[in-house]
Structure 1
Amino acid sequence: MSAKVVVVGSLNMDLVARTERLPRAGETVAGESFFTVPGGKGANQAVAAARLGASVAMVGNVGDDAYGQQLRQALEVEGIDCQAVSACPGVSSGVALITVDAASQNSIVIIPGGNGQLTPASVQRFDALLQAAEVIICQLEVPADTVAWALARGRELGKTVMLNPAPATGPLPAQWLAHIDYLIPNESEAEALTGAPVDDLASARRAGERLLQMGAGKVIVTLGAQGALFVSRDGSRHFPAPQVKALDTTAAGDTFVGGFAAALVRGLGEDDAITLGQRAAALSVTRAGAQPSIPTLAELAP
């Protein structure tokens, strides 16, 4: 079966330390636990889309190391097509060093490893996957020229193109936005993209409208416990989040993106797809880790 969702992006091994509070600069604090778990925004979104009902293919790179083998196997277990997950000799797999405090806030350091070797040419080798897709999802954890190529190719093929602009450090190149059907930033990313503070619904709406003016098709600003704001040329709609007790927010945004994409390819409308993504993300924050926290469609049944 052809993959309806193709994710072009990153695969990381997450090295997770839990501690009462995050250390200040130069400070050493005692930790409570440590574990390794497959992650990376691209791989997380692929897993979310697969668990929430889509057929999925992953396009990305790992290192020629034990972590790379584990990352690929973690996707294959989910039934994800990994023909386009390539091992790069001489580099490590991507690694994310994650510290999580008692309030479930995290700080993350990412070493790109193989992700940094994902070139436009290496994605183009698997163009048949893009041609067969309905939805193509990108993030910003692989080189910018690769993201630019994938977005443009998705638009050229007439696919539904999504960009989760994470991690965002500033405005996107103007030409990218015209290729994007759904731009899905969180508050800090929306702030980086527009240069204006985003800290409540009104400012999120202004940011979304600004991103539409800059060329994006539609914008969904994810607001954590405050839900999500959908902004289009027809107006905006706020979707309150389910109320849960958060344990670990890692991969919540990825769960939303993957769930939203999976719902669209399953034929749901935008509102229902956003609601499904929110329900999945809310359940994910009640669990520890990136991919282990992502729920299945069956778990979301009423």
Structure 2
Amino acid sequence: MKLAVVGSINMDMTVTAERIPLKGETLLGDSIHYIPGGKGANQAVAMARLGAEVEMFGCVGDDSNGEKLLENLRKEGVGTRHIKVLKEVPTGIALITVGENDNTIIVVPGANGQVDQIYADSIKEELKAFDMVVLQQEIPLETVHDLICFCAENGIKVILNPAPAAKVPLDIIEKVTYLTPNEHEAVLIFGEGETTEELLKKYPEKLVITQGSRGVSVCRKNGEVLTVPARPAIVADTTGAGDTLNGAFSVQIAKGEPIAEALRYANTAASLSTEKFGAQGGMPTAEEVERELKRNEEKIG
């Protein structure tokens, strides 16, 4: 099982405060942390911690943040030999405010903006060696769409996590194996004309919509809409929970697990990730997820 992630690699500058400030308001922060992040890198780390063989594709700058991020990925067991180090381009940064069990994020793309058509063309032959390619939208959308078309033409499974929110052309939706928006992203992609249930029924076992504390939903091939409830958590930081869910879901699908079991596993992993600070810092191992699933089964039993 070999997974490729093509996406963003950021340094997260995370400030904790009593709450998220209002427009025009100044608050005193409690602490500041510099933490490896980026949706692509986060999902790659989540997969590696869950036992997958993962290769990261993307760009960083030739600066101290870039060096630290490459070192962190290697430490986590993620392959980095296809990450391009760019001169005179800063590594991407995410400015994150955490308060009241929620967060706001502003991303400055930097080197992530250079994951362009030239870079995409340079990695296409390499991607043929992987069982699945996982993409997000923190790199240029033209690159994302081009790689989805390439994977579809070459029979490579693709998971697209359409975050940050942006329109996804319908022909691209047809070509991905799975599309995993949250509720807000789904509205931007499909409009407000249809309910969540109606959307899910249009794309059985392709469209997976995450709904925060209400869990995650998908339509089975038989037309039944399945909602996997969220695991209750003592929340410390929600940053990276969605990336953990996508990473865990990708690993389970690549292993051939049924979609219901894959979502139950992914939901549990995402919930566990919120109980520790930092996007990658809270991501659980396979042993931790399995232990929690077993504990829940014993409770039900």
TM-score where L is the length of structure 2: 0.92
Shift of 1:188: 1.1
Task: Give the Cα separation in 1 of the matches to 2:56 and 2:193.
Answer: 34
User: How many angstroms does 1:22 deviate by?
Assistant: 1.1
AA in 2 matched with 1:225: S
1:150 Cα deviation from its structure 2 partner: 1.1
Question: In the alignment, what sits opposite 1:51?
Answer: 49
1:128 deviates by: 3.5
**Letter of the aligned partner of 2:33 in structure 1?**
F
Aligned counterpart, 1:178: 174
Structure 2 gaps, min length 5: 292-301
What is the CA distance between 1:104 and its match in structure 2? 1.2
Moved more, 274-283 or 186-195: 186-195
Is the contact made by 1:95 and 1:113 (CA closer than 8 Å) also made in structure 2? Answer: yes
What TM-score, normalized to structure 1? 0.92
2:249 aligned with 1:257, yes or no? no
Tell me if structure 2 keeps the 8 A contact 1:49–1:262.
Answer: yes
Matches within 5 A, 1:81-160: 81-101=79-99, 103-160=100-157
Matched-pair contact (CA < 8 Å) for 1:183–1:217: no
SS in structure 1 at match of 2:22: coil
Q: State the one-letter code of the partner of 2:88.
A: G
Report what 1:162 is aligned to.
159
| Structure 1 CA distance for aligned equivalents of residues 130 and 277 of structure 2 | 31
Cα deviation for residue 217 of structure 1 reads: 6.5
Query: 2:232 matched to which residue of 1?
Result: 243
Q: Could you list the per-position Cα deviations for residues 68-112 of structure 1 after superposition, in whole angstroms to 9, with x for gaps in the alignment?
A: 1111111111221111111111111000000011x2111111000
Q: 2:23 matched to which residue of 1? A: 25
The answer to whether the 8 A contact 2:205-2:259 is kept is: no
What residue number does 2:294 align with?
none
Q: CA RMSD in A?
A: 1.6
3-state SS of 1:207 partner: helix
**Do the aligned partners of 1:99 and 1:108 also contact (CA within 8 Å) in 2?**
yes
How many residues align? The count is: 290
Q: Tell me, in whole angstroms, the C-alpha distance in 2 between the residues paired with 1:177 and 1:225.
A: 26
1:220 aligns with 208
DSSP 3-state at the match of 1:282:
helix
Offset at 1:232?
Answer: 4.8
Residue aligning to 2:198: 206
Structure 1 unaligned segments of length 5 or more: list them.
none
* 1:233 positional shift: 4.9
Which letter maps to 2:57? V
Displacement of 1:123 in angstroms is 2.4
The answer for the alignment partner of 1:195 in structure 2 is: 191
In structure 1, distance between residues paired with 2:190 and 2:28: 38
Give the stretch that moved more between structures: 226-235 or 131-140: 226-235
Paired residue secondary structure (2:200) = helix
Task: Kindly state the Cα deviation for residue 174 of structure 1 after the two structures are TM-superposed.
Answer: 2.4
User: Which moves more between the two structures, 10-19 or 261-270?
Assistant: 261-270
**CA offset digits 1:110-165 (Å, max 9, x no partner):** 00000000112212222233101111111110001100111111111111111000
Match of 1:71 among 28, 48, 69: 69
Q: Taking structure 1 as reference, are residues 120 and 231 closer, same or farther at Cα in structure 2, changes over 3 Å only?
A: farther
